[in-house]
């Protein structure tokens, strides 16, 4: 474990400068306008800001590291993807009609202020409901370095996603449904998603239990799994990018265990961390609760026509873990009136992202004092099913994110 960093007694650099942000006009809030149009009409009083539930934890900017894995189509000349080591058969003859692309990633996830009171009008006996939510922007860079086998390459943008997280109150008539969450997002390749789930009702103690995820493609017609040579990390002559994973295997960044189960990256990220609380929820475009809505929509190119889909996104499921991480920091000698201290806790393992804490002791510290502080960590595992070449191909993205802004030490930490 690395030692903590005493950054300065002034301004500290953020954990990782955010390269994606979202902002609304000052004081922008959505609300109904009935009274504005008809001042004499008395509408039912509406809370100015409906609850966000667990979405209240989605505040500010987060950054971190992750892993992305996608099977993508390979075409014939002139846009054929080529490889350092020859592959057999040549693309696009099956099983070389696809490319398995692997990305070590960095990510920023920025949330705006809540939107306010968003009216959805009910019909007949179903009363109106009022939603609230937070806009977000996600940006992901590839930092894969084939020379080192590490995540220290030049950042190259591979994903940008503006969207909304919304909290929907329970309804008792039409539909009969508990409070729920939905994620609405737009992806530049030409897909939009609406993914819903019931809102989580409990917070459990301790770290998350992260189940494995399988990347093996399967036949659309019958679900039979079809394993490809590119899923074997030691094979250096397959349609895969990077093709030779020997340096990544040596560095531990892309291993056979990670190809078999990309969620290994999330579990590894939690090594050495003291996670005291976890909230988990899973949104899906094809939820199992029949009353829930959702779905995907794709542009014509992705849907294809005579030859079938080029890469139609037919389903998205994403699991989010919102965790409370406990840190120990040592506060040095301090006299009231000094500038606030900026302290970064010790990394639980090399390369781990940890936030910076603003420390302003309420009294004199005559000798180094250890205090306990907490921060929010967001982890997610997302699986998108892409259909092409008569198979469904899992596209898996995972990341571990921490706040970029300085975290204020609360008064309770000094008790």
Query: What pLDDT, on a 0 to 100 scale, did the predictor assign at position 42?
Result: 58
Question: Whose structure tokens read 């609405």?
Answer: 184
Query: What pLDDT, on a 0 to 100 scale, did the predictor assign at position 23?
Result: 72
Q: How far apart are the first and last CA of the chain?
A: 27
Q: 3-state DSSP call for residue 54?
A: helix
Tell me how many domains the chain contains. Answer: 1
Tell me how far apart the alpha carbons of residues 302 and 74 are, in angstroms, rounded to a whole number: 14
Q: Are 191 and 302 in contact (CB under 8 A)?
A: yes
Tell me how far apart the alpha carbons of residues 218 and 224 are, in angstroms, rounded to a whole number: 5
Please state, in angstroms and as integers, the Cα–Cα distance from residue 279 to each residue in 30, 66, 132, 188, 245, following that order: 28, 20, 20, 30, 35
Q: 3-state DSSP call for residue 109?
A: strand
Helix-strand-coil split of the chain, %, nearest 5: 10, 40, 50
The answer to whether position 348 is within a domain reads no
Q: Tell me which DSSP letter residue 389 carries.
A: T
Q: What residues contact 371, with CB distance under 8 A and at least 6 apart?
A: 328, 329, 331, 409, 413, 414
Q: Are 239 and 81 in contact (CB under 8 A)?
A: yes
**What CATH number is attached to the domain comprising 85?**
2.40.128.20
Residue 161 CA, chain-centre distance (Å), reads 11
The overall longest dimension of the chain from CA atoms, in Å, is 77
Question: Which of 400, 406, 212, 404 lies closest to 323 in space, CA to CA?
Answer: 400
The answer to whether position 330 is within a domain reads no
Cβ atoms within 10 Å, residue 119: 16
Q: Are 114 and 52 in contact (CB under 8 A)?
A: yes
User: Of all helices (H) and strands (E), which one includes residue 24?
Assistant: none
The answer to whether position 152 is within a domain reads yes
Query: What pLDDT, on a 0 to 100 scale, did the predictor assign at position 43?
Result: 56
Give the pair of three-digit tokens for residue 66.
């992750």
Query: What pLDDT, on a 0 to 100 scale, did the predictor assign at position 169?
Result: 94
The answer to whether position 123 is within a domain reads yes
Query: What pLDDT, on a 0 to 100 scale, did the predictor assign at position 21?
Result: 72
Residue range(s) defining the domain that contains residue 32: 18-323+378-402
The answer to whether position 414 is within a domain reads no
Tell me how far apart the alpha carbons of residues 392 and 386 are, in angstroms, rounded to a whole number: 6
Q: What is the pTM of this model?
A: 0.91
Tell me how far apart the alpha carbons of residues 415 and 409 are, in angstroms, rounded to a whole number: 12
Query: What pLDDT, on a 0 to 100 scale, did the predictor assign at position 13?
Result: 46
Please state, in angstroms and as integers, the Cα–Cα distance from residue 340 to each residue in 76, 206, 376, 413, following that order: 61, 31, 22, 15
The answer to whether position 363 is within a domain reads no
Query: What pLDDT, on a 0 to 100 scale, did the predictor assign at position 5?
Result: 76
Q: Are 137 and 148 in contact (CB under 8 A)?
A: no
Question: Which of 104, 18, 54, 170 lies closest to 398 in space, CA to CA?
Answer: 104
Strands (E), 42-179: 61-73, 98-111, 118-120, 129-142, 156-168, 171-172, 176-177
pLDDT in tens, the chain (415 residues): 667 877 765 444 445 544 577 777 777 877 777 766 666 655 555 457 899 999 999 999 999 999 999 999 999 999 999 999 999 999 899 999 999 999 999 999 999 999 999 998 989 898 888 999 999 999 999 999 999 999 999 999 999 999 999 999 999 999 999 999 999 999 999 999 999 999 998 889 999 999 999 999 999 999 999 999 999 999 999 999 999 999 999 999 999 999 999 999 999 999 999 999 999 999 999 999 989 999 999 999 999 987 889 999 999 999 999 999 999 999 999 999 999 999 999 999 998 999 999 999 999 999 999 999 999 999 999 999 999 999 999 999 999 999 999 999 999 999 8
The answer to whether position 366 is within a domain reads no
The answer to whether position 333 is within a domain reads no
């Amino acid at each position: 474990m690395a030692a903590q960093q005493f950054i300065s007694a002034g301004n500290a650099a953020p954990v990782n400068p955010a390269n994606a942000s979202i902002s609304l006009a000052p004081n922008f809030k959505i609300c109904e306008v009935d009274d504005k149009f008809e001042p004499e009409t008395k509408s039912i009083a509406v809370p100015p800001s409906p609850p966000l539930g667990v979405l209240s934890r989605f505040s500010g900017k987060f950054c971190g590291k992750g892993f992305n894995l996608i099977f993508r189509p390979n075409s014939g000349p002139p846009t054929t993807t080529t490889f350092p080591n020859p592959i057999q058969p040549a693309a696009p003859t099956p099983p070389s009609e696809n490319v398995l692309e692997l990305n070590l990633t960095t990510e920023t996830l920025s949330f705006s202020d809540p939107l306010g009171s968003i009216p959805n009008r009910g019909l007949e006996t179903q009363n109106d409901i009022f939603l609230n939510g937070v806009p977000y922007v996600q940006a992901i860079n590839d930092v894969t370095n084939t020379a080192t086998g590490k995540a220290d390459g030049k950042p190259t943008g591979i994903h940008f996603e503006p969207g909304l997280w919304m909290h929907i109150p329970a309804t008792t008539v039409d539909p009969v449904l508990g409070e729920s969450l939905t994620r609405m997002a737009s992806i530049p390749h030409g897909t939009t998603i609406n993914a819903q789930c019931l809102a989580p009702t409990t917070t459990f103690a301790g770290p998350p239990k992260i189940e494995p995820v399988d990347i093996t493609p399967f036949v659309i017609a019958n679900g039979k799994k079809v394993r490809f040579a590119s899923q074997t990390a030691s094979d250096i002559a397959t349609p895969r990018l990077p093709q030779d994973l020997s340096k990544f295997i040596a560095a531990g960044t892309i291993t056979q265990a990670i190809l078999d189960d990309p969620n290994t990256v999330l579990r590894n990220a939690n090594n050495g961390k003291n996670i005291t609380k976890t909230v988990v929820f899973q949104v899906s475009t094809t939820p199992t609760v029949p009353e829930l809505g959702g779905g995907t929509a794709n542009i014509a190119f992705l849907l294809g026509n005579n030859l079938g889909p080029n890469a139609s996104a037919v389903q998205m499921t994403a699991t989010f873990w919102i965790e409370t991480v406990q840190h120990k920091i040592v506060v040095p000698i301090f006299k009231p009136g000094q500038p606030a201290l900026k302290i970064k806790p010790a990394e639980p393992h090399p390369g781990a992202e940890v936030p910076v804490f603003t420390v302003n002791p309420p009294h004199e510290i005559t000798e180094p004092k250890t205090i306990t502080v907490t921060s929010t960590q967001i982890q997610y595992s997302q699986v998108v099913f892409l259909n092409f070449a008569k198979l469904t191909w899992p596209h898996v993205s995972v990341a571990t994110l921490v706040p970029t802004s300085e975290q204020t030490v609360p008064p309770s930490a000094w008790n």
